[in-house]
Amino acid sequence: MTDLTPDSSALAMAAAVAHKDISARELMQLHLARIAERNPELNAIVSLDEERALEGARAADEHLARQGSIGPLHGLPFAVKDTHAAAGWRTTYGSPLYADHVPDHDDLIVERIRRAGVVLLGKTNVPEFAAGSHTFNKVFGTTRNPHDPTRSAGGSSGGAAAALASGMVPLADGSDMGGSLRNPASFCGVVGLRPSLGRVPTWPTGNLWETTSVGGPMARSVDDVALLLSVIAGPDPRTPIALGDAGRLFAPPVTGSLAGLRVAFTPDLGGLIAVDHDVAAVTEEASRRFSRGGARVSSAWPDLSLGEDIFRTLRAWSFQASYGALLAEHPDSFKQSLADNIRLGAELTGADVARAYAERTQLVETMRLFFEEHDVLVLPVSQVPPFPADQEFPTEINGEPMGSYLDWMRSAYLITVTGCPAISVPAGTTPDGLPVGVQIVAPHGADRRLLEVASAFAAAT
């Protein structure tokens, strides 16, 4: 037994298991004890199965004892996001319509994580069908923020972020359409990476060409994020839009420098987004940290005004395609905001979707040209700090009303539609001690470079 704790790094845990300094069963027991301590209040882990988890850990120890080859995550406790199917494990998607659903297959991201050697212990909580950046549903209830349980943990990967921040798991998988990796990472003070489009392929899926949502890694450090990315990234013959780089290219250690880095900083995308004063203060200080590290920081931003129509159109279109028939069959089984968004999708025409894709093509070119002059773009992750957990979404920012449950997420979803990789890294806290992350964006395909910049920023922090 080593001096590992549930707050140690995933890299340290994996090395300790591989060197037999700790058994997978002992490591699992450490995490189950932490879950027993924190989860009743936070409600981050759902569908917990301690008996199966301990049996899986015992099997991992036996495999290692036989001197078999092991994966990079061998023996690490893991809880899969409840919107990712895991064969044999209850997967509800946060919906009462799937409250007893047990899939017979793994999603590709889960398949890869399992192959790397993890031991599953349960799932992480999500909002209904991952819609919205606050984690609550009728099946399991609300996930709460480890830094202040009266506050939201964000979403849709809110269970994952809260479990990480409280030491219930060392790594977590997430997904991100409008900020579902980045917002909860910011709210809970962990690291969340939305990779480049195609970096982490999705399968199975009803639409291979729907490219607003991506899977990605979450962890307590950039190195640990890189470790999980190295497992889940890489091409797959079932997904023709996958990028061709092998996952191992992203493996830690990740080192970088801020010296000479061309940083474009904007607190509000040129007035396109409203940002809470406390969040703005933390992000402004983050920009000064880049400068002190030797970066050349300038006030600059791309014109992302087209992103509003692009995101809302493609999101509604995607939701209607995925859930329209289900809503028609069960009209009273959806939360109102999601039902409204699905119905909005039904009103779209082919011309609307074509316009959104044409605008997105323009936006991709805007970003390509922008990154000829800048290495990274830095801006807020979330426009607000963690808000009260009994509130569905923020209704105002600095006194400015938010018209819908999406308005406060613009700082994330305007980046979504560019297709660029974006990472949330802890940057500081509000006067109330609530975490605030900074969002760093790099050109499409530059995921390794983005990890290096994030690592250098984290070191400076």
Q: Which residue has the tokens 């109102």?
A: 336
What is the average per-residue pLDDT within 259-265? 98
Tell me how far apart the terminal alpha carbons of the chain are, to the nearest angstrom.
32
* Residue 67 confidence (pLDDT): 80
Angle at 193 between CA 385 and CA 45, to 5 degrees: 70
- Amino acid of residue 439: Q
| Strands 77-81, 119-124: pairing kind | parallel
Contacts of 102 (CB under 8 A, 6+ apart): 88, 89, 90, 91
- Amino acid of residue 38: R
- The answer to whether residues 301 and 275 touch, using CB atoms and an 8 Å cutoff, is no
Cα 238 to chain centroid, rounded: 23
Catalytic entry in 9, 23, 81, 152: 81
What is the average per-residue pLDDT within 68-81? 95
Residue from 422, 373, 433 nearest 192 by CA: 422
Catalytic entry in 133, 152, 180, 287: 180
Percent of the chain with pLDDT over 70: 100
What is the average per-residue pLDDT within 258-269? 98
Tens of pLDDT, residues 119-164: 999 999 999 999 999 999 999 999 999 999 999 999 999 999 999 9
Residue from 10, 59, 61, 60 nearest 31 by CA: 10
What is the average per-residue pLDDT within 277-291? 98
Catalytic entry in 9, 133, 156, 157: 156
Q: Binning pLDDT at 50, 70 and 90, where does residue 461 land? A: confident
Active site residue 335: no
Among 173-177, 319-323, 403-407, 418-422, where is mean pLDDT lowest? 403-407
Residue from 89, 131, 85 nearest 108 by CA: 85
* Residue 1 confidence (pLDDT): 53
- Looking at 195-245, which runs of residues are DSSP E strands? 214-219
- The answer to whether residues 229 and 250 touch, using CB atoms and an 8 Å cutoff, is yes
Q: What's the rounded Cα separation, in Å, for the pair 128 and 118?
A: 26
Q: Which residue has the tokens 């406390």?
A: 278
Q: Binning pLDDT at 50, 70 and 90, where does residue 232 land? A: very high
Cα 246 to chain centroid, rounded: 21
What is the average per-residue pLDDT within 336-351? 96
Residue 3 has pLDDT above 60, yes or no: yes
What is the average per-residue pLDDT within 39-43? 98
Q: What is the three-class DSSP state of 161?
A: helix
Q: Would you state the torsion angle of the CA atoms of residues 436, 267, 275, 405, taken in this order, to the nearest 10 degrees?
A: -90
What is the average per-residue pLDDT within 99-127? 98
* Residue 101 confidence (pLDDT): 98
Q: What is the mean pLDDT of the chain?
A: 97
What is the average per-residue pLDDT within 183-187? 98
Half-sphere exposure in the Cβ direction for 300 (13 Å, CA): 16
Report CA Rg, the chain. 21
What is the average per-residue pLDDT within 381-407? 95
How many CB atoms neighbour CB 459 within 10 A? 13
- The answer to whether residues 6 and 30 touch, using CB atoms and an 8 Å cutoff, is yes
* Residue 18 confidence (pLDDT): 96
Q: What's the rounded Cα separation, in Å, for the pair 372 and 150?
A: 44
* Residue 148 confidence (pLDDT): 98
Residue 461: exposure state from Cβ atoms within 10 A (0-12, 13-18, ≥19): middle
- The answer to whether residues 424 and 218 touch, using CB atoms and an 8 Å cutoff, is no
Residue from 445, 265, 422, 307 nearest 368 by CA: 445
* Cα diameter, the chain: 63
Percent of the chain with pLDDT over 90: 97
5 vs 1, 10, 28, 33, 75, CA distance in Å?
Answer: 11, 11, 11, 11, 15
Q: Binning pLDDT at 50, 70 and 90, where does residue 70 land? A: very high
Q: Which residue has the tokens 């932490």?
A: 34
Active site residue 180: yes
Active site residue 81: yes
- The answer to whether residues 113 and 78 touch, using CB atoms and an 8 Å cutoff, is yes
